[in-house]
Amino acid sequence: MKKGKYTMKPIRKIWVTTALTASLFGLTGGMTAQAAEGDAITIDEIIVSAQKRDQSIQDVPIAISAYDANFIEKTKLDDVKDMIDFTPGFAGKTKDSFVDAISIRGIVTNSFGAAVDPSVGIFKDGVYQGRTGSAITSFFDVERTEALRGPQGFLFGRNASSGAVSIMTKKPDPEKSDGYVHAGIGERNHIELDGAVNIPLNDQWAVRVAGYYLTEDGYVNNIFYPEDDDLQSQDKGAGRISLGYRGDRLDMTLIAEYENRKQSGSVYRALEDDETFDILGVSMRGARNEVDSDLRDDKDDGNVYSFTALLDWDLNDMTLSSITGVRTYDYQYAEDFDGAPFRSNHYFQDQEGDYYSQEIRLVSSSENRLTWYAGVSAYQEEIKVSFSQVADEELMCAVYEETTCEDAYGEFTANPNGLVENNDVEGTYKGWGAYVDVTYAATDKLELSVDLRYTYDKKDFGLSILPVESELGPYYAFGYTTNGFVRGSKSWDDFTPRFVARYAATDDLNLWASITRGYKSGGFGSFGLDIPTGPGEDIFEVINDDGTVPDGTKLTVFEPETLWSYEAGLKANMVDNRVQMAVNAYYYDFKNLQVSFFDEDLNNTVVENVGQVDGYGVEATLRALPSEYIDMLIGAAYSKTDIQGTGRICDDCDGNRLTNNPEWTFTGVINGHYPLKAGEIFSTLEFRYQSKVYGGFENEDRYSVEGYANFNLRTGYESDQGWNVSLYVENLFNQFHYDAVSAAELPIPGHNIGPARPRTFGIDVTMKFGD
């Protein structure tokens, strides 16, 4: 059957929006050996809702990957970061709750401040998940996830300049009673439990309850505190209750969710070829998979509460949808940022926030040549954060004064807590947007689409730098304090169009091309101020005698990032629909890059717009059924980025790559299965390779992570009665690597981040029940 415009259906019922054809191993990229005429086997059609309508993934003119519930279950995807292992163009998998390392086509969130918006948009049931501390939550009872590459402001209620991840949870269904329970055990006291039950209340109402728990001991030994528990542990639990109504014209779902997350903060190991070690006469101890950290009780803890209301109303020729989101959270974080057996920077963050959003959308029917959808959205975010940076006083004197504090300042009384520099920030962020998509089927083969979005963002922000008890005063993190909050307010807006053409060359071949403008709002710096100086003056000449900032001091402001992205691709069904291929090429021109860096002149960590990036690449996905007993999903990506105009950060960096941007990535899942009695046995190999990445714009080899490959193996039995059991080995060959690396900023040495999880054995058992 031809998959043209007139086969697309508007998304009306929420029970339909999450419907996917099931596959043996859940590869949405999903291969199922479907019996056709005779003994033929074909790949199931994969239905996605990225463009507000149910469409075959092969018809959608977007670079998109999708994973269904079976895939998430079988590959043990824990959260959004685990999707990186299987998605071409994605990188930056770390083991913390921070979103700033996630990279799509090389574009990351280049700051960890509280007034910088993420470049990657994460959405659950259509609701924006926010920033670090709130955005990363666990996958359980999930129907499907979709990973979209490239700017996505025209599809969601918030802009996403580099790409987006959309998560759809399973919804209540009044037509069946079913559920599942899953248990897993593994090395290092790994215990995982989750389950869900769907309960019809009558012909129109149903409730679904789901829960999740995971605990695991750490695997990184800390030489500095050898008797303590190993680092990189995790302990988290979550629950969700959903109430659904299905009427003749009106569908509604109410979702309440809570998650408690306790785990280690980022684990760092300093690089010894740093001048700080020479100055202090200190050396690192332990092997590369150990750390030598003098910080005790690192943490990455959070409580996230959310409420979502989804409404779909059939108006005959169109569907009216409403998406309401409320999220509140508290988050505590502590890490040894220097990664060394001395205290040059212990970093602490205590954060709380509230987020409210509302989106209303109209989607036309698909019976005419001209179809459309339009919507408006608004949000408000309240955030408060207390930051602390702690250092050893004598270390600071040794590095900056080249002597002891007493020799440098005369009589000196050490503070038992060291040099503690604190700052508080608070912000109220508001915004709204309006968008429209118009698609015209010019012929039976050619579709043309125009999207336009208007976005308005406003931020009210305040920064307070607190007094310092150490006799060094505000010595390192800021160099000054404030009398209360310095406040400011600023707004930004932009029009972001998208132009798309899709040509159905044959029933089995789609060609597409798009031009898209991306946008991310500006903001304020969380770690520095704009201090007025005269000609030839530096800031320390105008600071008041008591160390406070002078009158006229303002917040530091950075402007929006923008880009134009140009893409073209093809999606093809081949070999009697036993092979599906998607290939796309892109080029983007990224301007006003928002970058966080330590400014030695201002003695502050600042965020500025410093230059531009040209990026281009190719991404490909291949799904295949070589036989009725083998299916596979293979992905590959090539990425080249070229930075320009970064002289404020580093000398002679023009032409270098973005940080955490591998040139090559290869991903894949190969599954073999064979009937056995009332079920089948299966064995699955998963793999990911990524090439070398750099930890700074200088692209120095000493601040890099060499390319690595990781393999997982799973084997088990799946019964026709709804249960399965599997044994797995993750990191099959026990390969060691780090997640990332960071360049040095005296007196903080360069350091590797996140030692790899070692080879791990485990067993999983799942029982499904009901209709």
Among the listed residues 160, 166, 168, 122, the one whose alpha carbon sits nearest the alpha carbon of residue 143: 168
Using the predicted structure, report yes or no on whether residue 114 has a pLDDT greater than 60. Answer: yes
For 1-45, the pLDDT digits (tens) are 333 333 333 333 323 232 222 333 444 333 444 444 445 688 877
The mean pLDDT value of the chain amounts to 89
Residue type, 700: E
**CA dihedral of 580, 366, 374, 370, whole degrees rounded to 10:** 100
pLDDT of residue 162: 85
What is the rounded radius of gyration, in angstroms, for the C-alpha atoms of the chain? 27
The answer to whether the CB of 18 falls within 8 A of the CB of 143 is: yes
Please report which confidence band the pLDDT of residue 608 belongs to, taking 50, 70 and 90 as the band edges: confident
Main-chain phi, psi angles of 130, to 5 degrees: 90, -145
Reduce the DSSP state of residue 214 to 3 states and report it: strand
The answer to whether the CB of 277 falls within 8 A of the CB of 44 is: no
The answer to whether the CB of 765 falls within 8 A of the CB of 185 is: no
Distance CA 358, CA 654 (A): 42
Residue 693 β-bridge partners: 705
Tell me how many degrees the CA angle 354-355-357 measures, rounded to the nearest 5.
155
Distance CA 449, CA 513 (A): 10
pLDDT of residue 273: 79
For 523-534, the pLDDT digits (tens) are 999 999 999 988
Predicted TM-score (pTM) of this structure: 0.91
Using the predicted structure, report yes or no on whether residue 54 has a pLDDT greater than 80. Answer: no
Number of helices (H), then strands (E), in the chain: 6, 43
Q: How many CB atoms lie within 10 A of CB 305?
A: 15
pLDDT of residue 440: 95
Distance CA 47, CA 45 (A): 6
The answer to whether the CB of 121 falls within 8 A of the CB of 165 is: yes
Reduce the DSSP state of residue 27 to 3 states and report it: coil
Domain ranges of the chain: 5-770
Mean pLDDT for the stretch of residues 232-239: 96
Distance CA 170, CA 174 (A): 13
Main-chain phi, psi angles of 541, to 5 degrees: -85, -15
**CA dihedral of 16, 21, 23, 27, whole degrees rounded to 10:** -70
Using the predicted structure, report yes or no on whether residue 278 has a pLDDT greater than 90. Answer: no
For 747-767, the pLDDT digits (tens) are 999 999 999 999 999 999 999
CA atoms within 13 A on the CB side of 140: 29
Mean pLDDT for the stretch of residues 253-264: 97
Residue 545 β-bridge partners: none
* DSSP summary character for residue 614: E
The answer to whether the CB of 741 falls within 8 A of the CB of 752 is: yes
Buried b (16+ CB within 10 A) or exposed e, 62-99: bbbbbbbbbbbbbbbbbbbbbbbbbbbbbbbbbbbbbb
Please report which confidence band the pLDDT of residue 110 belongs to, taking 50, 70 and 90 as the band edges: confident
pLDDT of residue 380: 97
Distance CA 361, CA 765 (A): 41
Distance CA 229, CA 267 (A): 14
Main-chain phi, psi angles of 544, to 5 degrees: -65, 160
Reduce the DSSP state of residue 508 to 3 states and report it: coil
Distance CA 665, CA 378 (A): 37
Distance CA 403, CA 613 (A): 43
Distance CA 660, CA 662 (A): 6
Please report which confidence band the pLDDT of residue 536 belongs to, taking 50, 70 and 90 as the band edges: confident
Using the predicted structure, report yes or no on whether residue 441 has a pLDDT greater than 50. Answer: yes
pLDDT of residue 28: 38
Main-chain phi, psi angles of 31, to 5 degrees: -95, 125
- Burial class (CB within 10 angstroms; exposed 0-12, middle 13-18, buried 19+) of 708: middle
Residue type, 539: I
pLDDT of residue 556: 92
Using the predicted structure, report yes or no on whether residue 185 has a pLDDT greater than 60. Answer: yes
Q: What percent of the chain has pLDDT over 70?
A: 93
* DSSP summary character for residue 5: G
Q: How many residues does the chain have?
A: 771
CATH superfamily ID and name for 5-770? TonB-dependent receptor, beta-barrel domain (2.40.170.20)
Tell me how many degrees the CA angle 11-168-457 measures, rounded to the nearest 5.
85
| Residue found by looking up tokens 């996630």 in the block | 102
For 687-746, the pLDDT digits (tens) are 999 999 999 899 999 999 999 999 999 999 999 999 999 999 999 999 999 999 998 888
Both tokens assigned to 448: 């043309």
The answer to whether the CB of 346 falls within 8 A of the CB of 391 is: yes
Distance CA 163, CA 32 (A): 29
pLDDT of residue 50: 64
pLDDT of residue 39: 53
Distance CA 713, CA 727 (A): 8
